[in-house]
Amino acid sequence: MIRVAIDGPAGVGKSSTSKALAKYFGFAYLDTGAMYRACAWWCLHRGIDLDAASLDEQLVTETVGEFFTDGHFDISVDPDDARVFADGEDISDAIRSSEVSSHVSKVSGIVPVRHVLVAAQRALIMRESAVDSFSEGRGVVAEGRDITTVVAPDAEVRVLLTAREEVRQARRTGQAVGAGAVGSDDVAARDKADSKVTSFMTAADGVTTLDNSDLDFEQTLDVLIGMVEDAIEEQEYEQYVANLDDYDLDEADEALVAQRGPADADRGNGPKQVGVLAVIGRPNVGKSTLVNRILGRRAAVVEDTPGVTRDRVSYDAEWVGTDFKLVDTGGWEADVEGIDSAIASQAQIAMQLSDAVVFVVDGSVGLTDTDERIVKLLRASGKPVTLAVNKIDDAASEYMAAEFWKLGLGEPYSISAMHGRGVGDLLDAAIDSLKKAEKTSGFLTPTNLRRVALVGRPNVGKSSLLNQLAHEERSVVNDLAGTTRDPVDEVVRVDGEDWLFIDTAGIKRRLHKLSGAEYYSSLRTQAAIERSELALVLFDASQPISDQDLKVMSSAVDAGRAIVLVFNKWDLMDEFDRQRMERLWKTEFERVTWATRVNLSAKTGWHTNRLARAMREALDSWDKRIPTGKLNAFLGQIQAAHPHPLRGGKQPRILFATQASTRPPRFVIFATGFLEHGYRRFIERSLREEFGFEGSPIQISVNIREKKKRK
C-alpha cells in the first residue's frame, strides 16, 4: 500500500489536488480537514458555546471523543464522492458553513482534541491496507494538518504543498483560477490560528516542499503523480528483489541490482554562436590536410589526388580559447561540368556563408590562373581573407611564398599543413580576422540535438534526402556512385525540430579491398553510425535488395542504434515491384520487423513528411525505461502462462529482472538456469507487444545464479 500525506497552508489547493491524485491511482481519499470541521459542527450541534470567554476544553474533548467512539461519525473515502456523515445524515455542506468555518480553529486548537483526531485518522488510513477496503489495498491520499509529521510520519510520499500568500488569498476568494479551494476566509488569519498547535509553513525532515505559486492545477498534479509513481516503483522493487535473497550474487550483480534502473543521459546545452572560417582553394592544394591539422585529428578524407573532398563539411574547432566553425570545401575550378561543377558550387556557397576565409594556394606549383579567378570571387564577397601558401616544408623554400604578394590579399603565410609548420601563425591571423568580421553566423553543434546518421550503400539517395529535408543543396548530388566521401554534419529543421544529420559515404561490399579515399570514407561511415543515436537506413526500392544493403542495415542494428528503414525511389515502383517488396519484407527483413518503415521519394519529396514521426517514435523507444516493478510483474505473468520447457528434468525460473540501461534498452534477467534462445525471443516479442519499442533494438542478458549453500 502507498500512503500519500499532503499538508500545507490554506489556499494551496490541497483538497482538489489530493482528490485528483487519489482518483488517478484508484486510491482512497481522506480529507482530515473535514474531520475537524465535522467536530466543530458536532460541538455546535450539541449546544456547546464555542464563543465562551472561558471555553471548557475538557467538555469539547469528551464530546469529540463521543462523536468518534459511539459511532456517530462516518466519512466516505471515495474521491468522486467525498462526504461526511453524522448519525447517517450527510453534513458535507453544513460543515462548510461560515459558522463552522469561524469556529473550527477553536476546536482544532485544543491539543487533546487533536490526539483524538490523530488516532481516528491513523485508523482510517490503516483500514485501506485491507484488500476489502475502498482502494483494495492500493493506497490512500490523506491531506490536512499534521499529516506529514504526526499522523503519517512514515508515509511513502510526504509533501508540503505551499504557495505565496497573495496567490493563496486570490485562489481562496475565487479571484484566480487555480487549485479551487472552497471558501473565502482570510488565509493569513487561518494560518495564524492553526499555527498555534501545528507547523505547516516549513517542511520537516524528509518532507518534500512543492511550491505551486507559478504552477497550474495540471502541472501540480503531474509533479505529484511522478512522486507517487517513484514510490510505487520503489515498493515493487523491494518486493521483487527479495526473490534474490537466497541466491549467490557477485559484486557486479549487486551493483546492477542496486542501480535500480538506467540513469538518464544528459542531453547537454543549446547552440553557441560562433564565427565561421571557410577553407577555400583550387583542387589538391592541401585544404583537407590543413583542416585536419587545425582540428588535431584526421577528420577529413585526404588523398594525393584532386577532388577527394566534394561537399562543404563543417567541424567544431577551437584555437587559443576561441571556438569557431571550420568549413572544409571541395576544390574550386572554373568552366567545369558534371560533378566537378557541383563541387565548385558548394565551395562558392561556403564562401558566401562564412564570416572569414582562409585561401590556400600551392607554393610548390606557384600562382595559377585559377588562383587569380578565386581572388576575384573573394573580393566580390567582401569577406576578410587570410592567405596560406601551403607545401613550404622548410626555411629554404620560403622564397616561393613571395610570388603571392601580387594577389593583393596581404601577407602570404608560409605553411606546411602536412608537418604543421607555420600553421599556428596562420591561425592567429585568421582568428584575428574572424573576430573583426561583421557578424558571427555559425553555431557550434548543439549537444542536445538528436544525432541521425544517413546510411546505405552508394547511390541510394542519402544526400538527396538530406537536401530535400533541408530544402536546400547541402550535399553534392550526382548519379555517380560514391559522390559523398566525408561524413557531412548538418543541423536540419524537420517538422519544427532541429536534428543533427550525418550524411555518410555509402558502405562498400568488401572494406578490406578498398583503398585510398574510399577506404577512409567507409571507416568514417562506421564511425558515424557509432556517433549517431538513430540510423536512417536507405534502400533503393527500384533495385533488388542486395547482400550489401542487408549488411549496411546489420551494421546499424549491431551498433545498437534506433532504426528507421527508408525505401527511396518508391515513386518509380509499379504494382509488381511493390508486391515483390512486400514478399521480401517478410523474408529478408525478419530480423528487423520491429523497425518503422517509410516509403518515400527523396527526389520529389513525396512522403518525406512521414519521417519526423518515425524518427521520434524510434528514439522514444530507444530512450524508454520500464519500471522494475512493472517489468517483473509482466515477466511473472508470461512465465506463469508460458513456462520455460524442462531441461534435464529441471525448469529454469526467472527470479528477478531489471532494465540495466537505455539507448538501446538492455534487460538483465536473473534465472535459476539457462534460458533457451527461443524462449528469449519469446520474451522479446512479449516485451514489444506490451511496451512497444518500435524502432529500437532490445538486448536481453541472462545471469544464471545458484542458491546459497547452507552452512
Binding site for ATP: which residues? 8-16
Q: Which three cell numbers stand for residue 103?
A: 469556529
Q: What is the dihedral of CA 301, 304, 306, 308, to 10 degrees?
A: -20
SS3 296: coil
Main-chain phi, psi angles of 543, to 5 degrees: -115, 155
CA-wise closest residue to 142 among 10, 1, 12, 19: 19
The pairing of beta strand 139-143 with beta strand 89-90: unpaired
Q: Which three cell numbers stand for residue 165?
A: 500568500
Going through 49-150 in order, the beta strands assigned E by DSSP cover 73-75, 84-86, 89-90, 139-143
Whole-angstrom Cα distance, residue 642 to residue 508? 44
Bridge partners (DSSP) of residue 658 are 668
CA-wise closest residue to 152 among 3, 320, 332: 3
Contact (CB, 8 A) for 331 and 307: yes
Whole-angstrom Cα distance, residue 392 to residue 404? 13
Which burial class, exposed, middle or buried, applies to 680 when counting CB atoms under 10 A from its CB (0-12, 13-18, 19+)?
middle
Bridge partners (DSSP) of residue 452 are 501, 534
CA-wise closest residue to 376 among 419, 332, 327: 332
Contact (CB, 8 A) for 75 and 125: no
111-127 and 98-108 helices, crossing angle to 10°: 100
Bridge partners (DSSP) of residue 385 are 357
SS3 43: helix
Whole-angstrom Cα distance, residue 663 to residue 396? 55
Whole-angstrom Cα distance, residue 60 to residue 62? 6
Contact (CB, 8 A) for 207 and 37: no
CA-wise closest residue to 357 among 423, 289, 297, 429: 429
Residue tagged 510526504 (cell numbers): 158
Whole-angstrom Cα distance, residue 254 to residue 249? 6
CA-wise closest residue to 122 among 95, 92, 153, 91: 153
Whole-angstrom Cα distance, residue 153 to residue 158? 8
Bridge partners (DSSP) of residue 6 are 143, 159
Residues at the annotated binding site for GTP?
A: 281-288, 328-332, 390-393, 456-463, 503-507, 568-571
* DSSP string covering 344-363: HHHHHHHHHH-SEEEEEEET
Residues at the annotated binding site?
A: 8-16, 281-288, 328-332, 390-393, 456-463, 503-507, 568-571
C-alpha angle 158-160-162 in degrees, rounded to nearest 5: 160
Q: Which three cell numbers stand for residue 474?
A: 547541402
